[in-house]
Amino acid sequence: MRNDLKAILIVNQSDLGLNMSELLNGIKIMVTNPERLPWIILSVAIKQLTSLYKMSKIPIMIYPCDYTEAEDVPAGKRY
Domain span at residue 23 reads: 7-70
Q: Which helix (H) or strand (E) holds 12?
A: strand 7-12
Number of domains into which the chain is organized? 1
The answer as to whether 48 is a domain residue is yes
DSSP state of 65: H
The answer as to whether 50 is a domain residue is yes
Distances (CA, A) of 52 to 25, 31, 43, 65, 68: 11, 21, 15, 24, 23
What pTM was computed for the model? 0.84
Mean of the pLDDT values across residues 6-33? 82
- As a whole number of Å, the end-to-end CA separation of the chain is 31
pLDDT score for 45: 96
Is residue 2's pLDDT more than 80?
no
Is residue 14's pLDDT more than 80?
no
